[in-house]
A and B are shown apart, each in its own frame.
Chain A
């Protein structure tokens, strides 16, 4: 199947314009990152020096992978049901756009700001730790493999949350319900990253590679499966 870049780009640009002008989406983009930034920042800057050794066995940075799990879930939840609700889905589906192109445009529009926000928050967190935390604390937290894991896993986790969110959105009739279910569905990935962050699951290179490969496969499958199950007839007529 050939993907038409212009059609994907048309949906992508339209989505970004709508995000910017939708208060609830802007709020979600700000609130989630703040929650996952402020809490670890406060903890890091107030911990006594004696905890440094204990911290060196953990991967606290990974805790912030909750941001790319939750932010895109909130965006993707509107993807299809939002269009249905405002009556714009039918005009879009009467154009030559394919299901795969429509969903890819939607997914990229959720992915790009989510990854951008996540990276910006990490960068800010790292800068704060480097500048404000005790040197020993900074050394315990800022480790190359953890930062690399952040960079690699952020888009992979965001992708998975997006396909879950869009899949739910395509079957919902209420955007708020879709958003709540989308957030709920992204909790398992938050749980896994939190367990790794706090050493509940022992992090190894092999585990990281396995998880990354699994997420990559899930992301590609998510696109294919969500596209294949996007039922124009049901979305337009409400009848399967």
Chain B
């Protein structure tokens, strides 16, 4: 959990069933104030249902949660919705109304003390101040998404839920939305971001959780990589070493080695920062012509695919 101060969202054993099907079950996590938290998972994993449940649109069938400091109970629905904002996957704008008229309606629904000032601030935050009078039906998909984001910012929420905010957007528009989210994160807004775009999560999120009906893992992207994949150094020499076992044996922080191809060696290491200089020295002493020594890099996508593959293998057994 982020240490920026206090818990913004706390979920304990939460579950939601539709008939005999679990949308998600036994999910627990905490999100700190000001944290950007990524919620990843394949289609149908339960991400949107989780957002709707925490946003009081659906009631949980098991477990408990505290959202923006308020226990998630049917009686607290209005109070929770006062403190949060949800941007659904589909912008859901009134297409016959202008941008300003859409925001005016929602400013009224949130009871904004100064609607005009709030609308102006929200539009400036998403760089749409000059499009206030445009009819929403005439806007591109990317601009509609920005209006939806402005709408979500109207209430100055403690927790902002963004459900697939870049779904269906082209890369350039998605990049704009990323920059807006990053700016919100820098301003200290707690953001709960569901996505299946892993580069998006890796770029924007302090921590991520991977959901596939149950919570598969949670942590910082680098933590997850280290947790799931052994740390390795890849050593490539000009010609194969005469006796690699002799070169690599007994080096500090090197746990073992194997060939990848005749002149490439994969070394399992416990601490790459200690192992790499020692390996370099040993190779030089052995007279090897070293082409490269690199630390293996696993992306969040590798982590995600590894976990989802394991789930599929488990289901196939």
Contact = CB atoms under 8 A, between A and B. Distances in A.
A18 B85 contact: no
Interface residues of B, number: 36
B110 A95 contact: yes
Query: Does more than half of chain A's interface fall in helix, strand or loop, or is it mixed?
Result: helix
B106 A91 contact: yes
Contacts of B93: 88
A86 B94 contact: yes
B251 to A, nearest CB: 57
B58 A233 contact: yes
A94 B85 contact: yes
A143 interface: no
A163 to B, nearest CB: 22
Contacts of A236: 52, 57-58
A202 interface: no
A86 B111 contact: no
B57 A90 contact: yes
Given A10-B108, A17-B101, A239-B19, A233 B90 contact: no
B78 interface: yes
Interface in B77-104: 78-79, 81-82, 84-86, 88, 90-97, 101, 104
A11 interface: yes
A96 B110 contact: yes
A210 interface: no
Contacts of A237: 18, 49, 52, 58
A198 to B, nearest CB: 41
Given A11-B105, A237-B52, A239-B19, A86 B110 contact: no
B66 interface: no
Contacts of B151: 91
A7 interface: yes
Interface residues of A, number: 30
Interface string B1-41: 00000000000000000110000000000000000000000
A42 B55 CA distance: 57
A97 B104 CA distance: 15
A13 interface: yes
Nearest to B58: A233
Given A4-B111, A11-B109, A95-B81, 19 more contacts: A6-B108, A6-B111, A7-B108, A7-B111, A10-B106, A10-B107, A17-B96, A18-B96, A86-B92, A87-B91, A88-B93, A93-B57, A94-B57, A94-B84, A94-B85, A94-B86, A233-B58, A237-B58, A239-B19
27 contacts: A4-B111, A6-B111, A7-B108, A10-B105, A10-B109, A13-B104, A14-B105, A17-B96, A17-B101, A86-B92, A86-B94, A86-B95, A87-B88, A89-B92, A91-B88, A94-B55, A94-B81, A95-B106, A95-B109, A95-B110, A96-B78, A96-B110, A236-B52, A237-B18, A237-B58, A239-B18, A239-B19
Interface of B: 18-19, 49, 52, 55, 57-59, 78-79, 81-82, 84-86, 88, 90-97, 101, 104-111, 148, 151, 155
